[in-house]
């Protein structure tokens, strides 16, 4: 409750003044503990001491953070605030500057008698007293609290100055807290910006190594799809870096400042997967002791990456379809429909086309996910990228191990002869094993052989060209043929009629069309 205004006659009595000051101090302490908005709080304090103790036309001037040697008016009551906000007082300039210079209170029985009084605000009565007291945080002077008593000098001016000094001490604590909060906020903003720059550097397109033609096509797709909110389906074998691709899309999109949430759908059983994705209400099942947001809610405004989407059951696919279509969900055990704004990026190494044909994957969900497919080529189809990838991984391993480490040309040549069924993940594991056994500063050919890849070493085989002469009498079941060679041979035997080639391979037309696209086969027109 604000103190009621007091008259001049009442304030002239010392007992009445003391009682008014105590009531006002209590109100000031309440105001200062109520909010962290320093400017509004100070205005309210100045209003209270004016109404409660007759200290009118109050102002608080604080030292500028920029120079630390100049006072600016931070809050005022009964004054033209806009005009006051542009006024500055340097050390020794005016009465406020005098307090800053001397470091102690200035008490004037008639303000006009002081030659340093500048009257820049044009609001103070020249024949009335004026009190200006320092605001200190410890021994550091950070500002000045000034006011003009309503009454002429009545013998209680020192008492009023003492009261104003007590108010200044209370204000100092709020100034200290506000500055501490502001500094922490600046530090957090700086840290956030540093982290964003680091994340963008880590997950930018430049972090995806590869200059081969298949990877150039992937980069072109990434740059285009990152601009929009389109659902993306990343296809490719295990270990090709599908999660890295998803991260690059998110952190180079307009949603990069919002959450990027990941979930491996194959890592959880179906009963936990629903709770993990959609969240649950308290008491929804045994162990649900509190309400919990699911991954979709956590990713609201950002991106949700669903890895191994081909592993979810048919029953769960129907629940997933609703949120992809409508952007709506209900927590497990809840009845309230929640709206979310989430971009979905899914990934799988499975043949979803075959799963659709076999009835294991919903066709409508397939088309909902397959809006923008991106095919990540296996490492064996971009052999020319292996030296660059290997050097990148060795640098990464060296940083983790805290030492200088390189790789020899002979080791790189050996790596390019391997077929890498485990793709980049297998390559990284091989190099890490070699680094562990490396006592020097370079991984050589012998260390690569010791890492175990010699058991799977194969001479590079010539890749069948789509423009080759027609193939006849080729055994399509030959285990020595890779998949690309087998598909091209079937197409050649079928006269490049895809439906006929599909029958030769025991596939559907949709499946062979998928193989032609993922294996980068140029279809001949005959």
Mention the CATH class of domain 381-456: mainly alpha
Decide yes or no: CATH 3.40.50.1010 for domain 462-526.
no
Between 245 and 87, residue with greater pLDDT: 245
Q: What is the dihedral of CA 267, 272, 274, 276, to 10 degrees?
A: -70
* Closest-CA residue to 395 (of 439, 440, 443): 443
Which element (helix H / strand E) includes 147?
strand 140-149
d(C-alpha 30, C-alpha 302), whole Å: 41
Tokens 């004026």 sit at which residue?
130
pLDDT for residue 476 = 77
Query: What confidence tier does 11 reach under pLDDT thresholds 50, 70, 90?
Result: very low
Between 335 and 230, residue with greater pLDDT: 230
pLDDT for residue 201 = 60
pLDDT tens for each residue of 172-214:
988 888 888 888 888 888 887 777 666 666 666 666 888 888 8
pLDDT tens for each residue of 395-437:
999 999 999 999 999 999 999 888 888 899 999 999 999 999 9
Q: What number is the average pLDDT over the span 447-476?
A: 55
Q: What is the CATH code of the structural domain delimited by 204-377?
A: 3.40.50.300
Query: What confidence tier does 494 reach under pLDDT thresholds 50, 70, 90?
Result: confident
pLDDT tens for each residue of 362-383:
999 999 999 999 999 999 889 9
d(C-alpha 396, C-alpha 32), whole Å: 52
pLDDT for residue 466 = 38
* Closest-CA residue to 43 (of 75, 68, 66): 75
Residue 518 tokens, joined = 């993922």
Which residues have C-beta within 8 Å of that of residue 87, sequence separation ≥ 6?
72, 73, 120, 121
Q: What is the dihedral of CA 360, 366, 372, 376, to 10 degrees?
A: 0
Task: List, by residue range, all CATH 3.30.450.40 domains of the chain.
Answer: 8-182
pLDDT for residue 60 = 92
Task: List, by residue range, all CATH 1.10.10.60 domains of the chain.
Answer: 462-526
Q: What number is the average pLDDT over the span 430-452?
A: 90
Which residues have C-beta within 8 Å of that of residue 230, sequence separation ≥ 6?
343, 371, 372
Residue 34 tokens, joined = 């109520």
Task: List, by residue range, all CATH 3.40.50.300 domains of the chain.
Answer: 204-377
Which residues have C-beta within 8 Å of that of residue 162, sequence separation ≥ 6?
none
Mention the CATH class of domain 8-182: alpha beta
Number of helices (H), then strands (E), belonging to the chain: the values are 20, 17
């Amino acid at each position: 409750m604000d103190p009621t205004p007091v008259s001049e006659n009442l304030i002239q009595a010392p007992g009445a003044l003391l009682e008014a000051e105590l009531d006002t101090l209590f109100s000031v302490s309440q105001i200062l503990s109520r909010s962290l908005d320093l400017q509004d709080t100070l205005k309210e304090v100045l209003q209270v001491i004016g109404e409660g103790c007759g200290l009118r036309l109050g102002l608080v001037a604080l030292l500028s953070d920029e120079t630390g040697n100049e006072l600016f008016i931070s809050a005022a009551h009964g004054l033209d605030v806009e005009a006051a906000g542009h006024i500055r007082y340097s050390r020794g300039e005016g009465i406020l500057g005098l307090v800053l210079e001397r470091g102690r209170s200035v008490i004037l029985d008639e303000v006009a008698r002081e030659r340093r009084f500048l009257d820049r605000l044009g609001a103070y009565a020249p024949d009335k007293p004026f009190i200006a007291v320092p605001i200190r945080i410890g021994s550091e002077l950070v500002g000045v609290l000034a006011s003009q008593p309503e009454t002429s000098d009545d013998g209680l001016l020192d008492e009023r100055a003492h009261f104003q000094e007590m108010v200044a001490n209370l204000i100092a604590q709020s100034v200290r807290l506000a500055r501490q909060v502001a500094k922490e906020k600046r530090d957090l903003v700086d840290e956030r910006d540093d982290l964003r720059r680091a994340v963008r550097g880590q997950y930018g397109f430049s972090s995806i190594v590869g200059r081969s033609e298949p990877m150039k096509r992937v980069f072109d797709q990434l740059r285009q799809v990152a601009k929009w909110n389109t659902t993306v389906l990343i296809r490719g074998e295990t270990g090709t870096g599908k999660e890295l691709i998803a991260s690059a899309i998110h952190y180079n999109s307009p949603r990069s400042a919002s959450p990027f949430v990941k979930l491996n759908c194959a890592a959880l059983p179906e009963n936990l997967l629903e709770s993990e994705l959609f969240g649950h209400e308290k008491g929804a099942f045994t162990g649900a002791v509190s309400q919990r947001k699911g991954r979709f809610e956590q990713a609201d405004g950002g991106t949700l990456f669903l890895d191994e989407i081909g592993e979810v059951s048919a029953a769960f696919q129907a629940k997933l379809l609703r949120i992809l279509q409508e952007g709506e969900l209900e927590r497990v055990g809840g009845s309230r429909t929640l709206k979310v704004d989430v971009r979905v990026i899914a990934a799988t190494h499975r043949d979803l086309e075959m799963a659709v044909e076999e009835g294991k994957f919903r066709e409508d969900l397939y088309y909902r996910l397959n809006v923008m497919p991106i095919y990540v080529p296996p490492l064996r189809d971009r052999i020319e990228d292996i030296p660059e990838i290997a050097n990148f991984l060795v640098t990464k391993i060296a940083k983790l191990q805290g030492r200088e480490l390189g790789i020899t040309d002979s080791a790189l040549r050996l790596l390019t002869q391997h077929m890498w069924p485990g793709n980049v993940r297998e390559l990284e594991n091989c190099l890490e094993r070699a680094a562990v056994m490396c006592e020097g500063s370079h991984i050589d050919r012998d260390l690569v052989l010791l890492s175990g890849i010699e058991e799977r070493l194969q001479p590079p085989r010539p890749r069948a060209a789509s423009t080759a002469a027609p193939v006849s009498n080729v055994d399509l079941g030959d285990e020595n043929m890779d998949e690309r060679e087998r598909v091209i041979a079937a197409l050649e035997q079928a006269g490049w009629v895809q439906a006929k080639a599909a029958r030769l391979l025991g596939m559907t037309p949709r499946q062979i069309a998928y193989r032609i696209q993922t294996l980068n086969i140029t279809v001949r027109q005959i």
